[in-house]
Each structure stands twice: as structure tokens, then as C-alpha cells.
Amino acid sequence: MIPTRIMRAAKGSKPNLTGFNLRDFRASGGIKRYDPWGRAEAWRSEGHFSRYNRFKNALPGLGIGSAAFAVYCAYEHFFLQDQHHHGQEDEAQEGSH
């Protein structure tokens, strides 16, 4: 054994600066008490209703809808031409009246 471990074992454990001993805290909790509603409430946080699945399924069509909208906007911008040319037609019609 390493000499420092032997000396530490002879002196005991290091003093706790905070005064909070986690081992004593865990031991004071004892055995978990029976919860009669535990089984009835377990479904809220397990399986299909876990926190991850609730957030994942909150907006089911958002991704597909956003992609379809982006494709439509790109198609409209590049392939559909504006037939009216608003400024030029208005001037031509005003002159003929």
C-alpha cells in the first residue's frame, strides 16, 4: 500500500469544510416510502409520453410544411414571371384615355 494512504487511514477522513456530509444525508432518507399513486402517475414520464417524445411530436408537420413552402417560394421566384409589369401598363392606359 502507498504510505500516504496508510497515514490518511490512520488519521481518518479529511475534515469537511462545508459541514454537509452527503453520506449522512443519503442515509437519513432511508427506504423510499410506498407511493400508492406512483404506478398511476408513471405513464406521464415514460414511453410514448416522455419529455423527449412530447417535444418531438409537438408540431408534427412543421418540418415538411416549411420545406414545401420554401420550394414553392423558390419556384415562384425563378419560374413564374410577372405578366403585368404594373408600372408600364398603368402609364400606357392613362395616355390612351
Give the pLDDT score at 85.
61
What digits encode the pLDDT tens for the residues 35-84? 778 777 777 777 777 888 888 888 889 999 999 999 999 999 999 987 76
Give the pLDDT score at 91.
57
Give the pLDDT score at 1.
55
Q: What is the mean pLDDT of residues 31-37?
A: 74
Choose between 21 and 16: higher pLDDT: 21
- CA dihedral 27→28→34→39, nearest 10 degrees, is -70
pTM of this prediction exceeds 0.75: no
Instruction: Report the candidate in 74, 94, 77 with the shortest Cα–Cα distance to residue 86.
Output: 94
Give the pLDDT score at 86.
62
The residues spanned by each domain of the chain are: 3-81
